[in-house]
Amino acid sequence: MARGPCAKLLRGRARAANAVPRGRGIEMTPELRAILDRFIYEQATVTHIVTSLPAEGAERVVGETGWTIRQLVAHFAESQEGYAAAIGRWLAGEQVEPAGFDRDRANAETARTHAETPLPELLVRLRKSLRALFAAFHAIPDERLADPFGPSSGLESFHTWKRHYLDHGLDLIDAAPEVRFDPLVLNWLLYAEFIDERSKERQRQLMEDVRAHYAARPGDDVEVEA
């Protein structure tokens, strides 16, 4: 999880802006609350990245997806809307994903539909999707967390979802070099727990890049943990 006063401040502000009171008046389990905190923090950081770029920055291509930054934001928003809808179906005793749902086809359609949608419009939709997702999470009774949710349990599925921003994070900063050494970005990516070896190696390279960056600035006294 990200560390430091900047992260705490950002999480606190985002939580206050997006908090949804739990209808039944019962506190969430710490594990589910931590998943929600991660969505709040990482969405706020991604929003900071994309709004720090020049106007034409939304057209940059992100990694191997072939999507532009604009399309990636649309993908995040649509995914969170989909998560909220899936929880609603699950709580209603329905199939988690609609019959015949094809994720790759849905992602391609999102990219096509939003190839030219203005970034500010997509960011509004992203914020709304986060609120919808949090409302859905807050409606989940704790005793349902271990129930089947597709091929795994509800809680296991939510842990998979929480990695969504991170799955695209390193590719995003490669497309946004202006913020590569931004404290909020480093606080997120340097301390993230990547799973695959390629991402771990890219994280190590980012650490080396940060050290070299600050070594070239003798007036700065910055220590980066290994």
pLDDT at 19: 44
**Mean pLDDT rounded to a whole number for the chain:** 89
Domain-embedded: residue 26: yes
pLDDT at 99: 86
pLDDT tens digits, residue range 31-79?
A: 999 999 999 999 999 999 999 999 899 999 999 899 999 999 999 999 9
State how far the Cα of 194 lies from the Cα of 81, in Å rounded to an integer.
Answer: 25
Torsion angles phi and psi, residue 48, rounded to 5: -60, -40
Residue 221 lies inside a defined structural domain of this protein:
no
Look at residue 165 and tell me if it is in a domain.
Answer: yes
Instruction: Report the amino acid identity of residue 2.
Output: A
- Identify the CA nearest to 31 among candidates 193, 154, 194, 133: 154
Q: Is residue 13 part of a domain?
A: yes
Range of the domain at 40: 5-215
188-213 average pLDDT score: 97
Measured CA distances, 98 to 72, 90, 154 (Å): 23, 11, 17
CATH number at residue 188: 1.20.120.450
Q: Which amino acid is at 225?
A: E
Whole-number pLDDT of residue 21 = 43
Q: SS3 breakdown of the chain: % helix, strand, coil, rounded to 5?
A: 65, 5, 30
Please state the pTM of the whole predicted model: 0.84
How many domains in the chain? 1
Domain membership flag for residue 225: no
In a domain, 169, yes or no: yes
Number of C-beta neighbours around residue 19 at 10 A? 13
